[in-house]
Amino acid sequence: MPRARLHESLVVADVPHDVVVLVLEGAAKGGVRPGRDGHLRTVHAPGSGDDTIVAEARAAVERGDRVTVVIADRMLQARVQALGAMALSPSWLLDQLP
């Protein structure tokens, strides 16, 4: 799903989370501005998208938030699970989108 369409779908999605954080890296940042849009917060990774995802998950877990990370990469899934976050596959998210 192209990044702008994913962003728009997440803005209107009825997901079981108060805040959804979309991390974009590299060329994927183009055309999608960082910041808050309703329950969606878009973050432009300054470098590695994986490191930014881990940092966002760590900060949320440390605040005591229930954290779910949607990612296909198994190594990244293990990194966020080690922090106490749950990891789900992209197919779960796609099933939630309009």
Q: How is the chain split into domains, by residue range?
A: 3-96
Q: What is the band of 1 on the pLDDT scale with cuts at 50, 70, 90?
A: low
pLDDT > 60? residue 15: yes
Q: Give dist(CA 13, CA 21) in Å, integer.
A: 13
Kind plus residue range of the DSSP H or E element containing 39: none
Using the predicted structure, report yes or no on whether residue 43 has a pLDDT greater than 90: yes
The tens digit of pLDDT for each residue in 47-95 reads 999 999 999 999 999 999 999 999 999 999 999 999 999 999 999 998 8
Q: Are strands 20-24 and 35-37 parallel, antiparallel or unpaired?
A: unpaired
